[in-house]
Amino acid sequence: MTAKTPRRAPPRKPRRATPAAAPPTPAVGTVPMGDGSKPHPRLGLGLWALGRWTPEDEARTRAVIGRAYELGVRWFDTAEVYGGGRSERLLGEVLDRAAAGAPDAYVATKVSWEHLRPAQVRASLIDSLERLGRRSVDLYLIHAPDPRVPLSGTLEALEALRTEGKVGAIGVSNFSVEDLEHASKELSAARIVVNQVRYNLFAREEADPVRDYCRAHGILIEAYTPLARGLLHGRYLEGKGVPKEVQQVTRRLFEPDRLPEILERARALRELARSAGVPLASIALHWLERQGAAPVIGMSRPEQVDSNLAAWAVRPTDDVLDRADAIARGDRA
């Protein structure tokens, strides 16, 4: 398959090699990696939406990234396909302007499912590093498997990049248990330390088996859509319609035959949060943490950074999390 050549931004001079990370921010914390690579923050900012806006929105995009870094977020998750590389470029520009070039940032990006042949993997990473303005990334993920491309060649290329110091750790995204088992057999000198999957209180059928496998093999689950596109932050609970764009990217969550029941359960979760004196998002985020997952949250405005970090700072009791789990599953007993 011939890789498409993305429009490339003017190259910026990469900074010197990233020095050792500063001590972790207590409000977020980190998880040690099984391969001895840089500790992984427990909470991160996902830049999927931030790479899909018009040029007029770039100021807000920069403000979100800047606010997140200012308040202690260090994990930034992007990908070459987000905005055709624009997300990486904006992230690189903001971090470059941070104090000392943000040496303590944990930068993760992904190679597209369209670029999994060995030569494409290397070319994609070089392009990503140029856009990010960095000599290396802390974590490089396969965005999704491509059944037409053997994983053996992809993983061999990733191991070589890790040996060269361009990649701190290797991860995957949207991998099933079968995919993970296959991938683990193809690695020789490295290991997969992360699998990023869709995971929240209402989306768990596919993630739970993956979670169990990852727990048994020391692989960290990164949970995207942890707040179910805002539903677990209280959005859509007062009669506001769900935009078509959101419906298209959430699979069955907002489909007409399921939505009324989901909204009923979400309102019950909101009442539980109110009675417990915690934000609804606190329940959603710390339920994931208890599953051994690290939530990566999409935030499109600086005030959302503030509210999500405030939610993270409050941990509900185990009893509240147990009740939330039962409500989300539809068990009212």
**Percentage of the chain exceeding pLDDT 70:** 88
Please, which residues have CB within 8 angstroms of residue 277's CB and are 6 or more apart in sequence? none
pLDDT above 90 for 14: no
Angle, CA of 139, 245 and 177, to the nearest 5°: 40
Structure tokens at 166: 């361009």
Residue 99's pLDDT is 81
Structure tokens at 251: 């699979």
For residue 333, what are the CA distances in angstroms to 168, 201, 275, 317? 47, 18, 18, 19
Angle, CA of 307, 25 and 28, to the nearest 5°: 45
pLDDT above 50 for 296: yes
Residue 251's pLDDT is 65
Widest pairwise Cα distance in the chain:
60
Residue 120's pLDDT is 98
pLDDT above 70 for 247: no
Residue 331's pLDDT is 82
The rounded distance, in Å, linking the Cα atoms of 108 and 79 is: 8
> Would you call 82 a catalytic residue per the annotation?
yes
Residue 47's pLDDT is 92
- The conformation of residue 295, written as its DSSP 8-state character, comes to E
Residue 101's pLDDT is 86
Q: 220 phi and psi, to 5 degrees?
A: -80, 130
Q: Tell me which residue of 128, 125, 185 sits closest to 151, measured CA to CA.
A: 185
| Catalytic pick among 69, 82, 140, 213 | 82
Structure tokens at 52: 């899909």
State the DSSP H helix or E strand holding residue 299, giving kind and residue range, or none if neither.
Answer: none
Please, which residues have CB within 8 angstroms of residue 107's CB and are 6 or more apart in sequence? 76, 78, 91, 95, 132, 134, 137, 138, 139
Q: What is the separation of C-alpha 49 from the centre of its chain, rounded to a whole number of angstroms?
A: 12
Q: 143 phi and psi, to 5 degrees?
A: -65, -40
The rounded distance, in Å, linking the Cα atoms of 175 and 142 is: 9
State the amino acid at position 99 in one-letter form.
A
List the beta bridge partners of residue 171. 141, 194
Q: Tell me which residue of 144, 299, 139 sits closest to 233, measured CA to CA.
A: 299
List the beta bridge partners of residue 222. 196, 294
The rounded distance, in Å, linking the Cα atoms of 5 and 118 is: 16
Mean of the pLDDT values across residues 224-243? Answer: 87
Q: 97 phi and psi, to 5 degrees?
A: -90, -10
pLDDT above 60 for 24: no
pLDDT above 70 for 309: yes
Whether pTM > 0.75 for this model: the answer is yes
The rounded distance, in Å, linking the Cα atoms of 60 and 301 is: 7
Q: Tell me which residue of 194, 251, 246 sits closest to 223, measured CA to CA.
A: 194
Q: Tell me which residue of 163, 114, 107 sits closest to 134, measured CA to CA.
A: 107
The rounded distance, in Å, linking the Cα atoms of 192 and 213 is: 12
**pLDDT interval class at 130 (50, 70, 90):** very high
Query: What's the topology of domain 39-198?
Result: TIM Barrel (3.20.20)
Mean of the pLDDT values across residues 205-228? Answer: 95
For the beta carbon of residue 323, count every other beta carbon within 10 angstroms. 19
Task: Decide: 154 and 142 in contact? Cβ < 8 Å.
Answer: yes
State the amino acid at position 171 in one-letter form.
G
Residue 11's pLDDT is 52
pLDDT above 80 for 53: no
pLDDT above 90 for 55: no
Residue 23's pLDDT is 43
